[in-house]
Amino acid sequence: MSKILITGGAGYIGSMLCTKLLEKGHVVTTVDLLKYNKGSLNHLYFYKNFKLICDDIRKVSLMKKLVRQHEFIIPLAALVGAPLCEKYKKEAISTNLKSIKDLCNLVTKKNKVIYLTTNSGYGIGEKDKYCDENSPLKPISLYGKTKCDGEDLVRKYIRNHVCFRLATVFGHSYRMRSDLLVNNFVSTAIKKKKLTLFEPHFRRNFIHVRDVVNAVIFTMKNFNRLKKNVYNLGLSSANISKIMLARKIQKQYKRLKIKIVTNRKDPDKRDYFVSNKKIEKKGFKAQISLDEGISELIQVFLNDKEKIINNY
Ligand SMILES: NC(=O)c1ccc[n+]([C@@H]2O[C@H](COP(=O)([O-])OP(=O)(O)OC[C@H]3O[C@@H](n4cnc5c(N)ncnc54)[C@H](O)[C@@H]3O)[C@@H](O)[C@H]2O)c1
C-alpha cells in the first residue's frame, strides 16, 4: 500500500486513476478545484483512505505540506488543450508550469514523481514522420509549450521521476471529455450522423484512458527499473489516419456518412507514427483496442446526450 498525491484527480485521467488506485487499496489524496465536473469523484467518498482537498495547487504552503506526507506524486492538474490555454494564458502558465517549478523545489529524494505530458509536439508539419523519444519536440501551442517545459524541469530537477509522453487519449471517464479526437469523432457521429474530414490522411497515435491508468500502476510497481527516463505511451496498433478512424466508427455505427473536404487545412499539423517500443521493452504494452473504445463510446453518447457537451 502506497501513499499517493494526485493533483487534478477529478479530471478525465485523474478520476479514473484515483478509482483504480483506491480499488487496489492505496491511500489517495487529491487536490482539485473541481472546475468542470463536481461529481466525478462522488463514488470515491465511500473509501476511508480517500481524501479530496478542494483547493488550488498553486498554493505553495499547501503543496509543501502534502508533498511531505506522500511517497508518490502524480501532478495532473493543468489547463489542458490548446484552445483553453490560449483563452486563459496567465492561468495556463501558472498552473501548468509555475506549479511544476514549485514542485521541483518541494520534492525530496523520498518522493517519486510520475509526470504526464503530451506527444503533440512531435512531427509538426513533417509528413509521415516516425518519432521515438529522441525525436525533437517542437510544440506550437502555449499548452504544448507549458507541458514540454514542465517535462524539462521534472527531468532536470527531480531525482526520482518517470515522464510519459501520451498519445491522444480516448474512452469513457467519470469526467468526460468529448474534445479529444476519438471521443469527438464518435460524439459528432452520433449527434450529426456525419463527419467532415479535412487532411484525412494525417496520422495520429491513440491510447485508452484505462491503459494510461494501467501504465501508471505498472510504473509504481517497477519504479526503480523505469526511473530517470521518458517514455512514449500509446497503443502501437493505433498509429492510424483520421480517415481510418472514421471508417472504424462507421463500421460500428452504420448511419454515419463521411465527407472529405479538400480545400481546408487542419490547424493541428501532427502527421506522425509514434514508436512505443521503449516502454514495451520494459514490460508495459497498451492493450485496449480502438474498436473496444469506439463500441464503449457509442453506448455512452447514444444513452447520455449530456456527455457530448460537458467539456469546459
Ligand atoms: N487527456 C489527454 O489526452 C492527455 C494527453 C497528454 C497529457 N495529458 C495530461 O494529463 C493531465 C490530466 O489531463 P486530463 O485530460 O485529465 O485533463 P482535465 O482537464 O480533465 O483535468 C484537469 C483537472 O485539473 C484541475 N485543475 C485545473 N487547475 C487547477 C488548479 N489550479 N488547482 C487544482 N486543480 C486544478 C481541474 O479541475 C481538472 O479536474 C494534464 O496534465 C494533461 O496535460 C492529458
Q: Kindly state whether residues 163 and 194 are assigned to the same domain.
A: no
Q: Kindly state whether residues 299 and 224 are assigned to the same domain.
A: no
Contact indicator for 67, 25 with CB cutoff of 8 Å: no
Cα 33 to ligand 1 centre (Å) = 11
Q: For cell 479514473, name the residue.
A: 16
Q: Rounded to a whole number, what is the distance in angstroms from the first to the last CA of the chain?
A: 34
Q: Kindly state whether residues 105 and 189 are assigned to the same domain.
A: no
Q: Let me know if residue 250 belongs to a domain.
A: yes
Nearest-angstrom CA–CA distance, 247 and 103: 44
Amino acid at 146: T
Q: Kindly state whether residues 259 and 218 are assigned to the same domain.
A: no
Q: Which ligand 1 atom minimizes the distance to the CA of 81?
A: 43
Q: Kindly state whether residues 121 and 252 are assigned to the same domain.
A: no
Question: Can you give the CATH number for the domain in which 243 is found?
Answer: 3.90.25
Q: Is 139 a pocket residue for ligand 1 (Cβ < 6 Å)? A: no
Q: Kindly state whether residues 94 and 221 are assigned to the same domain.
A: yes
Domain hosting 302: range is 181-204+237-271+288-308
Q: Kindly state whether residues 139 and 248 are assigned to the same domain.
A: no
Within 10 angstroms of residue 151's Cβ, the number of other Cβ atoms is 22
Residues near 222 by Cβ (< 8 Å), separated by ≥ 6?
282, 283
Cα 19 to ligand 1 centre (Å) = 16
Closest CA to 270 of 291, 294, 240: 240
pTM above 0.85, yes or no: yes
Cα 81 to ligand 1 centre (Å) = 9
Amino acid at 288: I
Nearest-angstrom CA–CA distance, 197 and 175: 27
Residues near 150 by Cβ (< 8 Å), separated by ≥ 6?
96, 97, 100, 115, 117
Per-residue pLDDT in tens (0 to 9) along the chain, 312 residues: 999 999 999 999 999 999 999 999 999 999 999 999 889 999 999 999 999 999 999 999 999 999 999 999 999 999 999 899 999 999 999 999 999 999 999 999 999 999 999 988 786 666 667 789 999 888 889 999 999 999 999 999 999 999 999 999 999 999 999 899 999 999 999 999 999 998 888 888 999 999 999 999 999 999 999 999 999 999 999 999 999 999 999 999 999 999 998 877 766 666 778 999 999 999 999 999 999 999 999 999 999 876 655 555
